[in-house]
Structure 1
Amino acid sequence: MIDIGVNLTNSRFDKDRDEVVARAKAAGVHGLVVTGTSIEESQQALMMARQWPGYTYSTAGVHPHDAKTVLDLALPEIRELSAHPEVVAIGECGLDFNRDFSPRPQQEAVFEAQLAMAAELNMPVFMHCRDAHERFIAILKPWRDKLPAAVLHCFTGTRDELADCLALDLHIGITGWVCDERRGTELREIVGDIPDNRLMVETDCPYLLPRDYRPKPKSSRNEPKFLPHIASVIAECRSQQPEQVMANAYVTTQAFFNIGSPSVE
């Protein structure tokens, strides 16, 4: 398995980042994709990808929360980062109309700028959408045929929204949200609609600790070692064996990010 959404730059990992990666390897997680969410965080993500070569990779992009910090829509710093072999996707980019930490017009402009860059560079995009489905689809749709691949990470939407995403041939990232008996009910019902070759698995750590994990962890911090548990819950919802979900997601993830077999040594 490869965890496609790891916020390893988050300060909650500052005290034991090496141990977190070691525990991921011990749990059978075969690779990590470190998420870049701003120019600074994307630079840090690249540094962390280099810290564990052949095991960690990174993305480079600006999250909608940070769109307000972008002064140049050419995003020269992101373009520079994208040239490094460890950087395997543009993003995290997209729209978040739930928090509105950045003005919506600015979110949309920065999202489209990153789609244009990914299309030009022939790189996949790692995307975010919360409470903005209609605008997200409207902005993405004209670019979709120009992009080699696109994943909506941490999908938590409705059946109709999932159908819209699959109609655009998006990959779908599923997190521990599926393990939440309060908020994840609909996701558990529809996760079986995702084709095997479009499903990827992630923790989005340190967020979204699986609520049903036992024994209950002392800390609320999520980390990649819980990825096998998330995969097993997804498998149960899809009436598949965990090994089948893990194997399919592994092959799908390698192809999406164009990476070889990560090294766990």
Structure 2
Amino acid sequence: MQLIDIGLNLSHDSFDHDRDAVWQRARAAGVTRAILTGASRAHNPKVLDLARSRPGEWFATAGVHPHHASEYSTEYDAELRALHAHPEVVAVGECGLDYFRDFSPRPAQRRAFEWQLQIAADTGKPLFLHQRDAHADFMAILRQFDGRLGPVVVHCFTGTREELFDYLDQDWHIGITGWLCDERRGQHLRELVKHIPGNRLMVETDAPYLLPRTLRPMPKDRRNEPAFLPHIVEELARDRGEAVEATAAATTATATAFFRLPG
């Protein structure tokens, strides 16, 4: 298998002591490329630097997660646009809405989301989106940009059947993580993933978060890694009634096309 992890938080400080070893384990497991998630003013430049350090293997996103929406400003919008001038930055995001935790006030979240959608409209870059407990506002804001946006992926999908089909009706893409492996919260995804067309499906770890609960043996530090992506693909293939090789090939082809990666 040659897999692409489309959501890897490799700038997280839990990787600071062994980042190269983490990637070597991923490579040995068949993960050949990764999209490194930029989600805050502090981390976006670091993610870009990481992507530059492994050209052709690591690529970056640049955005402001709704948790950090309060930091968004006219000044930072200009900084973010400057980051998007670099070819290593292949998508706008992670951005969106999160009403589950409300770490930023909801009006600030909506404003930051709209500003970043404008960046996507202006650059034509794909969007890497986050939505939790905010579906109605999420859809309403995106409808304001109908016909102006490029490809969209709703990353780390954990939502309802209604939400899934709303996204698929818009021809958006879906990112599936190890949430699928969580018998407490993700059991409904086992059925829903069957309905995602192969050319709309991608896979991600969201590491160091969302360690798959079905992984054996469990790492002692409970840190998720890109090396565990094949485990997610195996579970996903089983739920979809596909050969693992077919799911791997389809998700890799979809990610390559979506992020406009070389060959």
TM-score (norm 2): 0.97
Amino acid at match of 2:170: L
Amino acid at match of 1:69: E
Residue 92 in structure 1 maps to residue 55 in structure 2: no
Residue 124 in structure 1 maps to residue 119 in structure 2: no
Q: How does 1:185-196 map to 2 (within 5 A)?
A: 185-196=187-198
Q: List gaps (5 residues or longer) in structure 1.
A: none
Q: How does 1:13-52 map to 2 (within 5 A)?
A: 13-52=15-54
Amino acid at match of 2:44: S
Q: How does 1:173-252 map to 2 (within 5 A)?
A: 173-252=175-254
1:74, CA displacement in angstroms?
6.8
1:25, CA displacement in angstroms?
0.8
Instruction: State the alpha-carbon separation in 1 of the partners of residues 260 and 49 from structure 2.
Output: 20
Displaced runs of 4 or more, over 3 A: none
Instruction: State the alpha-carbon separation in 2 of the partners of residues 149 and 208 from structure 1.
Output: 25
Amino acid at match of 2:212: P
Amino acid at match of 1:197: N
Amino acid at match of 2:164: L
- Give the fraction of aligned pairs with identical amino acids, expressed as a percent: 55
Instruction: State the alpha-carbon separation in 2 of the partners of residues 145 and 205 from structure 1.
Output: 33
Amino acid at match of 2:59: Y
Deviates more, 1:142-151 or 1:20-29: 142-151
Instruction: State the alpha-carbon separation in 1 of the partners of residues 221 and 244 from structure 2.
Output: 26
1:224, CA displacement in angstroms?
0.2
Where 1:39 maps in the other structure, the secondary structure is: coil
1:257–1:144 distance in 2 versus 1, CA, 3 Å: farther
1:104–1:73 distance in 2 versus 1, CA, 3 Å: farther
Q: List gaps (5 residues or longer) in structure 2.
A: none
RMSD: 1.0
Instruction: State the alpha-carbon separation in 1 of the partners of residues 159 and 57 from structure 2.
Output: 31
Instruction: State the alpha-carbon separation in 2 of the partners of residues 259 and 247 from structure 1.
Output: 15
CA contact (8 A) 1:144 1:168 kept: no
